[in-house]
Amino acid sequence: MPPERHGSANTPSRPRAALLCLRPSPVALGAILAMLLLTGCASGGASPMGEIFRDAWGGSDGATDRAAEITFASLVLNADDRSGLVVLGALAEPESFWPTGNRGLVTLRHEGLHATAGLTADLLDTRYTVSEGEAEVPWRLSAPADFSVTRTWQRGDGLTEQMSAEGSLACAAAEPYALPLATLTLEPCAMTLVWENGRTTRGELWRDPQTRRLWAAEEQAWPDGPRMSWEVARQWW
């Protein structure tokens, strides 16, 4: 049975429809995201879209209530010094962009963590290499296999580092998982990354057994990096 979808797929609100139809070029996307991250406009007040993003952000205690009220695609996110509900800012498949307030941004690729901006230490890029060639990312494989990942990040002191890791993904039988707005039957997948400096980081991914899309995840992006978690409230696909 396909995952439950929330809201009407045929009659989205005009702002949501505009966001979900974005397929901009990289240059245009940069301009769009810059606009979305602005907290004010020439008149001194916030733009209507800026109000949507700022109002959607809040403490995690009330995130589920806010998700039920807002019809936009949304995530409940915990990242570094901020947590709460965020709504979709732009979509350029397979990437989705999530403004977090305070000029912050989280980028997901195939629903997995790809990059961040505005945090104490930012993930700049994530590149997976999957030997099977069946998918770009390991959780989309029908039978998870070993893979490698290279991540680039900017430390709190401004210096940039890059490191690769050998990874493995082990998925168990599907079980009920309580998301903010629904309980779905998802496969828990334990992700282990052994980095070239000998350190190991671990994460947990929850994927749909049929589509293999991620509905929830929690991981440490690099050794000594911040831990991040996110759950889909209203999906964007």
Average pLDDT over all residues of the chain: 80
Mean of pLDDT values over 170-194: 97
Cα 22 to chain centroid distance, Å, stands at 17
Give the residue-averaged pLDDT of 210-223: 97
* pLDDT above 60 for 205: yes
- Cβ contacts of residue 38 below 8 Å, gap of 6+? 47, 50
Whether cis (ω within 30° of 0) applies to the bond prior to 94 is yes
| Region class of 222: left (phi > 0), else alpha (psi between -120 and 50), else beta | beta
> What is the band of 70 on the pLDDT scale with cuts at 50, 70, 90?
confident
Distance CA 7, CA 4 (A): 10
CA-to-CA dists, residue 166 to 146, 147, 149, 196, 228, angstroms: 7, 6, 7, 8, 20
Confidence of residue 165 (pLDDT cuts 50, 70, 90): very high
Lowest mean pLDDT segment, chosen from 74-83, 112-121, 185-194, 223-232: 74-83
Mean pLDDT calculated for residue range 199-222: 97
